């Protein structure tokens, strides 16, 4: 995996086209314009591209015209179906298509085959940022890229302008897979925080006093993922375990009784606890939680 920081200014600004000037597409365009790249834009609803014309972008009348304007074409549309719709009828032969539209790994693989069949090189991207982070090199924004390594290497300077770049392999599905894996982990994290706030909701505890405790606790716990990775790689899920699954599973009854006492639904907690209990029941109480990954993935 290559890992680069944001480059505010490319050595020789490459002309590029951006399809989609929604919130994210507009932020990308502004970063490239600020770095001196000639940018052609197209948006299905033309009014949404107009402010960018005032800032120096060239607005194309159609997606096909926009694709014809630059070899490097960035798509940042709502979903994979909108990419297919927008590019229907555009001549992609000889183009380098970078798809920054969120989708599944399967979407990306199918879109790569679709683009290659039309004579284009294809790179998929998963943006790990919100629009205000784009073009701000201190924000930590980055994009996972996968697909054509040749395309990535040729345009790396331009791609590094709006956000850092992390190339994760030539399988076009890998950028989306990394993106969605991180977003899925975030869902679990926020589910836990949601339950925690619900527990204190009816009490005389100031949420603003509780939030820093929650944030620092979660920060202290997350390095456990490194042990999980080591266990997955060694195959020994008991090595260095300090809080084994049997103990954690037993403690779950306290978490559930507390939820009941506080009048809080346990619906966000119980699926995870059920999985834990299943692994313990299968005789793995001396492990940490790594074995639950095998239960989910069907790899045990
Ligand atoms: N915003 C974020 O925080 C964020 C973060 C990471 C990744 N992303 C991803 O970035 C992509 C764009 O997000 P956004 O925030 O820019 O969304 P947005 O503001 O809702 O913009 C959506 C864009 O898609 C276009 N579009 C929708 N359906 C279309 C169709 N059938 N044909 C052609 N164009 C179509 C819209 O055109 P109209 O203006 O004509 O509707 C607009 O340009 C999404 O895949 C999103 O998941 C966004």
Question: Considering just the CA atoms, what is the radius of gyration of the chain in Å?
Answer: 23
- The rounded Å distance from CA 27 to ligand 1 centre is 12
Kindly report, residue by residue over 149-177, the tens digit of the pLDDT. Answer: 999 999 999 999 999 999 999 999 999 99
Q: Which of 17, 23, 24, 86 for mutating ligand 1's site (highest number of atoms within 8 Å of CB)? A: 24
Q: From ligand 1's centre to the CA of 152, what distance in Å?
A: 23
* 18-36 average pLDDT score: 98
In the chain, % of residues over pLDDT 70: 96
Long-range contact pairs involving 289-296 (C-beta distance under 8 Å, separation at least 24) = 289/228, 289/245, 289/248, 290/228, 290/231, 290/232, 290/237, 291/237, 291/245, 293/228, 293/232
Helix (H) / strand (E) containing 114: helix 105-117
Per the prediction, the chain carries an average pLDDT of: 95
Q: Which atom of ligand 1 is nearest to the CA of 45?
A: 40
Residue 87, class by beta-carbon neighbours within 10 Å (0-12 exposed, 13-18 middle, 19+ buried)? Answer: buried
What value does the mean pLDDT take over residues 16-25? Answer: 98
* Token output for 162: 């709006």
What pLDDT digit, counting tens, does each position of 234-292 carry?
A: 999 999 999 999 999 999 999 999 999 999 999 999 999 999 999 999 999 999 999 99
- Which atom in ligand 1 lies closest to the alpha carbon of residue 79? 45
pLDDT, position 11: 57
């Amino acid at each position: 995996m290559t890992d680069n920081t944001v480059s505010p200014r490319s050595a020789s600004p490459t002309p590029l086209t951006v399809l989609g000037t929604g919130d994210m597409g507009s932020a990308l365009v502004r970063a490239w314009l600020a770095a001196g790249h000639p940018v052609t834009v197209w948006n299905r609803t033309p009014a949404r591209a107009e402010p960018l014309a005032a800032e120096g972008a060239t607005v194309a009348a159609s997606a096909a015209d926009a694709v014809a304007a630059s070899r490097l074409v960035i798509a940042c549309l709502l979903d994979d179906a909108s990419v297919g719709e927008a590019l229907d009828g555009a001549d992609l032969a000889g183009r380098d298509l970078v798809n920054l539209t969120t989708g599944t790994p399967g979407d990306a693989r199918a879109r790569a085959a679709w683009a290659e069949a039309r004579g284009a090189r294809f790179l998929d991207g998963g943006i790990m940022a919100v629009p205000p982070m784009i073009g701000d090199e201190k924000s930590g924004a980055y994009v996972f890229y996968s697909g054509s390594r040749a395309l990535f290497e040729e345009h790396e300077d331009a791609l590094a302008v709006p956000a850092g770049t992390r190339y994760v392999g030539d399988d076009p599905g890998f950028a989306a897979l990394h993106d969605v894996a991180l977003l899925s982990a975030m869902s679990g994290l926020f589910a836990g925080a949601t339950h925690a706030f619900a527990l204190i909701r009816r009490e005389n505890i100031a949420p603003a006093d509780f939030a820093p405790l929650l944030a620092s606790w979660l920060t202290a716990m997350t390095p456990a993922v490194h042990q999980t990775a080591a266990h997955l790689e060694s195959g020994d899920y008991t090595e260095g375990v300090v809080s084994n699954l049997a103990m954690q599973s037993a403690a779950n009854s306290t978490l559930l009784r507390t939820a009941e006492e506080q009048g809080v639904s346990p619906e966000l907690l119980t699926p995870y606890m059920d999985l834990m209990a299943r692994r313990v029941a299968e005789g793995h109480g001396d492990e940490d939680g790594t074995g639950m990954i095998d239960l989910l993935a069907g790899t045990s």
